[in-house]
Amino acid sequence: MTDEYLAEQRQWFARVEAAEQLIPLISKLYRERNIVTSIHGRRLINLSSIDIIKAHRFGRRHGNGGALDLAVTKQLLEALSRMNVSIASVDLGALGVAFRESGSGDPDAFLASQLGDVKPLVEGDGGTDVVLYGFGRIGRILARILIDQATTGPGLRLRAIVVRKNGDDDLGKRASLLRRDSVHGPFRGTIKVDRDNNTITANGTLIQVIYSNDPTSIDYTQYGINDAIVVDNTGRWRDEEGLGQHLQAKGVARVLLTAPGKGSIRNVVFGINDQDIQPDEKILSAASCTTNGITPVLHALDKKFGVNHGHVETVHSFTNDQNLIDNYHKGSRRGRAATLNMVLTETGAAKAVAKALPEFAGKLTGNAIRVPTPDVSMAVLNLELETEVTKEQVNDYLRQVSLHSNLRQQIDYIESHDVVSTDFVGHDRAGIVDGLATIANGKNLVLYVWYDNEFGYSKQVVRVIEALGNVHPSVVPVRRDVTEV
């Protein structure tokens, strides 16, 4: 072996060792204090040493200041461990760059100046109870996220799921569907079923399975569940009257729908209008996956360049609402085989954008094409802007928004000649701008936005639940508004 080979290998394993030293620090901060650490939006929770190195490599490419050093990250993590703070989303990538540029040399003093507005750690704060009403595609992904994000400190606590009983081994089959997923892969951890008590324990999270056809008749308090947020992911009710049934149950404080709400129900797109939620609003909607995928991008474009009008075409993966083979369906075209056809259908996403962004009222039209893929969709935004732009201007702006703005959790940006839909399975941003596909001609702009219509949307739902439970982490360092990027 050459000296160059051995030197490269020794350097690699030294980095692996350095990354391994970060894992217990990252884990303890999250487990005990609900402090989420990331590198420019790439979460470090539950990552392997190799994944942590990859996250630092991403930081070197996008960190505005050169290499992101594992040793500096360790310094910041150790200093963070010494501080009396909790419930925070700490971007170690941005902080590492700022720490180096400050020339301070004192990580404790530096972090004290950055974390002034973060909540202090309060002993005994157990967080907010969550009930999943329904356990289909979105329900199970929500469960995975809530279990993965469980802490012993303040945060969201998944306490129960409510379903209709389908056979003698219903509990076992529900657990099996949580354990194995054809799209998102196996559950990361252990699952135990207690048939005598109708519970599923997943990674230490004890989940009560409640069988009911009537939301008004459930007494959640008998299971020790109080002031819970019920997340209705059945799609059975979408208006205030139907969803209001949940509020008649004992132990329920609020209801969140994982579909567009009807009537006066507020459609919340986290990062856009979650700050408008009022304390007396008991029933809310997390809108749709497509609305969450496109609204943040449209907001950013409108603030920078102005949007006169446009058309949204979504190329959407098939869903349970469609038929596997040709059969009767009350909707037009949706009765045709989902796995064999591109199915042209309607989408309410274009109109729904205006519920979160009133300035878009009447500006957008939209259609959808359902395609034979099980997950990950794409929105094509064909827009007329108020100002003339170039492809480079738009791409550079949206890249900066994805890294440094208050929409960092919603918008991501990628440039790759070979990226395809499966590369975005499990992506936690609401929408990912495909920079190489951008077309700009004067005031006309065509933008391509990928989104995981299951996982990415579910992450947005969880952020809304955190906001309702007052446990959404404070972002450090404070992100700039898109108008300042």
Tell me which residues are annotated as active site: 289
In single-letter form, the type of residue at position 253 comes to A
For the chain, give the number of residues.
Answer: 485
Query: Token pair of 455, please?
Result: 């996982």
How far is residue 455 from each of residues 98, 134, 376, 459, 484, measured CA to CA in Å?
32, 16, 9, 6, 29
DSSP string covering 365-398: EEEEEEES-SS-EEEEEEEEEEEEE-HHHHHHHH
- According to DSSP, the residues that pair with 201 across neighbouring strands are 192, 206
Q: How far apart are CA 149 and CA 34, in angstroms?
A: 8
Q: Which residue has the tokens 């045709």?
A: 336
Q: How far apart are CA 228 and CA 352, in angstroms?
A: 27
Residue 481 phi, psi (nearest 5): -65, 150
Residue 390 burial (CB count, 10 A): 13
Residue 3 burial (CB count, 10 A): 7
Kindly provide the b/e burial profile for residues 124-163, where b requires at least 16 CB atoms within 10 angstroms of the residue's own CB.
Answer: eeebbbbbbbbbbbbbbbbbbbbbbbbbebbbbbbbbbbb
Supply angle C-alpha 173, 179, 181, rounded to 5. Answer: 95
Q: How far apart are CA 132 and CA 468, in angstroms?
A: 15
- According to DSSP, the residues that pair with 112 across neighbouring strands are none
Sequence-ordered alpha helix ranges (H) in 103-164: 107-114, 137-148
Q: How far apart are CA 53 and CA 59, in angstroms?
A: 10
Nearest to residue 312, comparing CAs of 286, 288, 347, 345? 347
DSSP structure class, residue 250: B
Q: How far apart are CA 289 and CA 455, in angstroms?
A: 9
Give the burial class of 120: count Cβ atoms within 10 A of its Cβ; 0-12 exposed, 13-18 middle, 19 or more buried.
Answer: exposed
